[in-house]
Structure 1
Amino acid sequence: MTFRYDFAPTPFGDALAVFSDVGIVRFDLSESADPSVPWLLENISRRLGAIPEPDPGAAAELTLLLDDYFDGTPVAFHEQIDLDWRLAEGFSRTALQTICSIAWGETLSYGEVAALAGHPGAARAVGTACRLTPFSIIVPVHRVVRSDGSAGQYGAHPERKTFLLDLEARR
């Protein structure tokens, strides 16, 4: 199995995209100029058991989808590109796959996702899955909100979650 990486432009900066022979294995909004990117690549290498090689152009198809998405076109990434789920296991993977079914512009609460994923009462576990997703934006964890309807967090950048929810609400 070979792994490669590239960067894809987003309104938040050039995001890291790691690919396997199966599909995209990680999409992280850490910017290419972010000093944490070498650490992130090292962490991904440990988890994959291989060092991803730079591959300029590997994210070309993803970049086109991201351009459409940020232009306001509904994009179901999971239906358009292959996902390699190897970095998501157990209930986290189930929760993230359930989140893929949330339509553009719609939201569900953490508890609603837990129930749909077959584990009512596991809202906190859904929150953890969202926080640790290997697929920022691609799996629309930004569409999972608090039970009171408020946005909640999005890693260390809740303003990004608000941006994404507002983008989808405008359509």
Structure 2
Amino acid sequence: MNTDDTIALLSASIDPDTLATLHRRLEAAAHAEGLVDVAYTTVDSPVGPLLLAATPKGLIRVAYAREDHDAVLQKLADTVSPRILRAPQRLDAAARELDEYFAGTRTAFDLDLDRSLSRGFRLLVQQHLPEIAYGRTRSYTEMAEAVGNPKAVRAVGSACATNPLPVVVPCHRVLRTDGSLGGYIGGLDAKATLLALEAAA
């Protein structure tokens, strides 16, 4: 085969079904050989496309489109492992539970979580966030008191703002003392959507 034939072969369009089959084979082979440290997929939701990423320990990242999914994956490659592969089947449980949540049929998540992206006080706050019941809210001040550091209101805000697992770990349920939304990693529209969804249930 000459160079022109090789170029023509490589540049020929591959039909989507063939490409999907090849990707499934790659995914299965990489999984069988233990070559994937971070699996990811994207799912549609009422708050836009969400990137889901997991390690063998559990779900490590949920990211909104406004965070730039490519940038999030690059950060995971830099901080966790460069061995990342789109592997939707590894995230079936997370995708299913999110679908149930957005459909209003799930009020709590039952997923293994990899919390290795957070440390110290931020991790402490994030571990306490699931204590806020579905459909309820707490203020940043109340969260600071709940973790035993009443003066750390700003630090609580920072912990919520850097939560790597939004929606699943419900930082959206933390509001300012006056009841206003405060900030949110997914944007205020997403925060309001999640709170309205939970209030309607």
Same-fold status (TM-score > 0.5): yes
- Map residues 73-84 of structure 1 onto 2, 5 A cutoff: 73-77=105-109, 80-84=110-114
1:30 deviation in Å?
2.0
1:153 deviation in Å?
1.9
The residue identity in structure 1 corresponding to 2:149 is H
After superposition, the Cα gap between the structure-2 partners of 1:109 and 1:47, relative to the gap in structure 1 and judged at 3 Å, is: same
Preserved contact between residue 139 and residue 174 of structure 2 (Cα < 8 Å): yes
Root mean square deviation, CA, Å: 1.7
Rg larger for: 2
1:71 deviation in Å?
1.3
Q: 1:56 aligns with which of 73, 88, 94?
A: 88
The answer to whether 1:21 aligns with 2:56 is yes
Partners in 2 of 1:4 and 1:122 — Cα distance? 35
- Map residues 87-102 of structure 1 onto 2, 5 A cutoff: 87-102=117-132
The answer to whether 1:42 aligns with 2:68 is no
Aligned match of 1:152: 182
Deviation readout 1:14-71 (Å, 9 max, x if unpaired): 211111111001111227xx8x322221111111143321112222111211111111
Q: TM-score, normalised by structure 2?
A: 0.77
Q: Number of matched residues?
A: 166
User: Counterpart of 2:96 in 1: which secondary structure?
Assistant: helix
The answer to whether 1:135 aligns with 2:165 is yes
Unaligned runs of 5+ in 1: none
Q: 1:108 aligns with which of 138, 142, 145?
A: 138
Q: TM-score, normalised by structure 1?
A: 0.90
Partners in 2 of 1:66 and 1:156 — Cα distance? 15
Partners in 1 of 2:156 and 2:167 — Cα distance? 16
Identical positions, percent: 35
Preserved contact between residue 8 and residue 59 of structure 1 (Cα < 8 Å): no
Unaligned runs of 5+ in 2: 1-35
Runs of 4+ in 1 over 4 A off after TM superposition: none
Preserved contact between residue 9 and residue 63 of structure 1 (Cα < 8 Å): no
1:100 deviation in Å?
1.1
1:159 deviation in Å?
0.9
Partners in 2 of 1:121 and 1:51 — Cα distance? 41
Preserved contact between residue 17 and residue 27 of structure 1 (Cα < 8 Å): yes
Partners in 2 of 1:155 and 1:25 — Cα distance? 16
Preserved contact between residue 63 and residue 72 of structure 2 (Cα < 8 Å): no
